[in-house]
Structure 1
Amino acid sequence: GRIFIKGTAARYTLLMENPTIFYMPYITVNMLIEGQVLCKDMKRMSLSLPPFANRSFSYELPLYYRGLYNIGVHSIEISDFLGLFSFTVYPPEMKSILVRPRIIDSPYLDIQELKSTEGSRSREHLEAGNDEIVNIRDYNYGDSSRKIHWKLSSKLRKYMVKETKNEQDKDSIFILNLNNQRIPDLNSLMMEDCLIEEIVADINYLLKMNMSLRLCFFKNGPQTVRAVSALDFQNIYNILSEVKFNQDYDFVQALDYFTEGEDHSNLLFIYTVKLDPGMIEKLIKLKNKGFDLQLFFVCYEGVGFEESKWRDIADLLTKNEIDAYRLVPSGKPAGGTENRAESYAATEGAEVIEA
């Protein structure tokens, strides 16, 4: 599929051709649902084609939200005047586009505060003196020569680096909730996009400061991706560009899984579209265990932010010293107006996808 950056645009072109001598009176083109979310005009249509005729259809796709989308034709149904025969044609390959999130500066993280927390953790770990080797990986630019595994490097003819228990215990932990957001619609896409853009910004920020971290999420099972420098950012960026919010699991249990045994990993970042009472109860328990929590969310299950009940919830988070940030999606929903600070690319400069 083609790769785009959020805020640009694409153009999808469909060419229908009848190369036979027969008239095709009834043709129904069924389009994929994800494409209809990006462009309302990309919907089911009916047409007819005379012998040796062709028709072309062009759709402009403004790419306001990151994600991996299957677009275009799902199937084509053809039948005669009397309905005596009909058959269905499927495209030889599915057309898809990947819309990567923007990389913006994080407005929330305070590097001095984070560095201070990490520094105190580092001293505790050095005093503990746990140098057990837990992983060996390829050398990255900026790694200390003291971490090179010389014997293995000589055998493999490339530099290999040792990771000790001390180092992994210092990782900040980023936990992303990918729970199912129902059938994709503009509202859910806006909320997911807002959350992903924030976690991308925060991870980029920490890696630029050479603060190691782990990205954790459930995708058909627990997944953990470790990053130790800015050179590792691209891999995480690629992953976060494609992840779908389509999992079905208990996020509280996921928090248990990823935090179990992490007594020294004080920096814990939680990202979820929806917050609920069960999550808050779990976060308070994690805070009481000594984790330094940063919570990012978009909405609260069943409660509007204008309601007095939300003020009670916010007070509870503040009382337990949980730094919580409500993310407000902004974009250009169908029929709405542009409310982002920057303008999106004009569709005249769109890339063309043909089918």
Structure 2
Amino acid sequence: MFKLLKNKIIYLCFLIFTIALGIYKDGYISTILFYTALLLPVVSLSLILFTMASFRLLENVDQRIVVKGDVITYTYEISNHTKLLFCPMTIEFTDSKVLFKDTILGEEDEFILYPDEVKKAVKKVDCRYRGSYYIGIQSISIRDFFNLFTIKFKSIENPKILVYPKIRELIQVNKYTSLIESNESIVSKTNKDPSIFSNVRDYQSGDPLKAIHWKLSAKQGKLLVKENEGNINSRTKIIINYDSLPFSFEYNVVMQDYIIECVVATIKYLLENNTPTYLSYYKFDMQYISASNINDFGQFYNVLANMMFSGREFISILEKELGSFAQYANIMIFTPYITKELSEYILLNRARIPDINIYIINENKCEVGSILTDQDKQPLVDLLSNNIKVYKISYENELCRLEVA
């Protein structure tokens, strides 16, 4: 930018000089210099427009559906099929500073295409965050050889990738954050409903006799054991704050990834313990899914990978979802941070929602947590002062940690 400004100042000085020269000393050379100064920007703009209209761009990725942490190969080809030299071009990639940090895609490419030249670049891209987003060239800046003008070309159709969240194990930090403590139990391991079972398996030494499915065992000629679901009263409802976040696109993707991975780990834990689990999520409108067995984890995983964060009425949706709270022993709300509206709603309805747990991002552990530290902390303080259980999410290696706020 400074170089462009410097060259424009030099050009204006040159133009003023040629005008003054033509006034005070009219002649052939002064006339040539004057018309050269006048035609210079016209020629520069013409070359830029010619380059913009003539170059050809092709982008491709070797995989469009991947899991977080996978490395994909991104390729682009830009060509000059004319007999003229193109203006200098600079390629800027999509949201490269955050989403593709520490990868080669984050670097800008600058080059000049000679007649009949094709430039091909192959880049390895580390898919670091869950979500569905475009990857590739965001814009191509074309400038003239005299550095007087620059025009950005943005009408580029990029390939879109879908990155599935990483599956982590849920762990406790201390007894107060354990999901299986008796006082905060979401999973009932001791009180099984014998009338509800999700699967049968071969008898193993140590299995209680009351768990044997006698009727089916007689038919099969071998002992079969019922795998009971959790207590019918331990059913859990998970609600995700799907409202659009007020930050930049790439920061939103990082925070959404943070929330979704914790939801995935939590649902995996619940289903492994045969706990009836209900999920409310947003995809164009409100959708619902439920299961009580780990065999159904895949459908939750697919839903969470494709979930959209584009709503604007979470509080009204929350009011509707919590209207049937009596059916559930536990309500779990996942949100990036506590808003004033959310805090006021929960405190106002606390009497009729006795067991509610809220999960938020630990800003000290999140890659973009610095922007969360600027958010108003009073809504969180209000919840904690009224003994509402709030947990902070953080990650360590392949583990998801929940810490008391």
Which TM-score bucket, shorter chain as reference? 0.5 to 0.7
How is 1:237-252 mapped onto 2 (pairs within 5 angstroms)?
237-245=301-309, 247-252=310-315
- Of 376, 386, 393, 1:327 maps to 393
SS at match of 1:111: coil
How is 1:43-54 mapped onto 2 (pairs within 5 angstroms)?
47-54=111-118
> Which residue does the alignment assign to 2:324?
261
- Residue 69 of structure 2 aligns with an amino acid whose one-letter code is G
Matched, 1:22 2:86: no
Matched, 1:111 2:165: no
Matched, 1:221 2:282: no
- Residue 26 of structure 1 aligns with an amino acid whose one-letter code is C
SS at match of 2:168: coil
Aligned partners of 1:37 and 1:22: how far apart in 2? 39
Higher relative contact order (CA 8 A, sep 6+): 1
Question: Is the 8 Å Cα contact of residues 27 and 76 (structure 1) preserved in structure 2?
Answer: no
- Residue 114 of structure 2 aligns with an amino acid whose one-letter code is P
Aligned partners of 1:178 and 1:23: how far apart in 2? 52
Q: Which is helix-richer, 1 or 2?
A: 2
Aligned partners of 2:289 and 2:90: how far apart in 1? 42
Question: Is the 8 Å Cα contact of residues 75 and 120 (structure 2) preserved in structure 1?
Answer: yes
> Scaled by the length of structure 1, what TM-score is found?
0.64
Going from structure 1 to structure 2, the CA distance change for 1:306 and 1:119 (only over 3 Å counts) comes to farther
Offset of residue 57 of structure 1: 2.2
- Of 48, 70, 76, 1:8 maps to 70
Matched, 1:68 2:68: no
- Residue 199 of structure 2 aligns with an amino acid whose one-letter code is G
Aligned partners of 1:12 and 1:32: how far apart in 2? 11
Offset of residue 313 of structure 1: 4.2
- Residue 114 of structure 1 aligns with an amino acid whose one-letter code is I
> Which residue does the alignment assign to 1:181?
245
Going from structure 1 to structure 2, the CA distance change for 1:225 and 1:34 (only over 3 Å counts) comes to farther
Aligned partners of 1:186 and 1:305: how far apart in 2? 18
| Root-mean-square deviation over aligned CA pairs | 4.4
Matched, 1:210 2:274: yes
> Scaled by the length of structure 2, what TM-score is found?
0.57
SS at match of 1:50: coil
> Which residue does the alignment assign to 2:164?
100
Question: Is the 8 Å Cα contact of residues 24 and 80 (structure 1) preserved in structure 2?
Answer: no
- Residue 115 of structure 1 aligns with an amino acid whose one-letter code is V
- Residue 328 of structure 2 aligns with an amino acid whose one-letter code is S
Question: Is the 8 Å Cα contact of residues 215 and 224 (structure 1) preserved in structure 2?
Answer: yes
Question: Is the 8 Å Cα contact of residues 100 and 127 (structure 2) preserved in structure 1?
Answer: no
- Residue 279 of structure 1 aligns with an amino acid whose one-letter code is L
CA offsets per residue over residues 131-164 of structure 1, 9 Å max, x none? xxxxxxxxx9639xxxxxxxxxxxxxxxxxxxxx
- Residue 275 of structure 2 aligns with an amino acid whose one-letter code is M
Question: Is the 8 Å Cα contact of residues 68 and 99 (structure 1) preserved in structure 2?
Answer: yes
Structure number, greater radius of gyration:
2
Going from structure 1 to structure 2, the CA distance change for 1:10 and 1:217 (only over 3 Å counts) comes to same
- Residue 192 of structure 1 aligns with an amino acid whose one-letter code is Q
- Percent identity for Structure 1 against Structure 2: 23
How is 1:78-89 mapped onto 2 (pairs within 5 angstroms)?
none
CA offsets per residue over residues 283-320 of structure 1, 9 Å max, x none? 234441144111101279x998799x958944x43454
Question: Is the 8 Å Cα contact of residues 303 and 310 (structure 1) preserved in structure 2?
Answer: no
> Which residue does the alignment assign to 2:99?
38
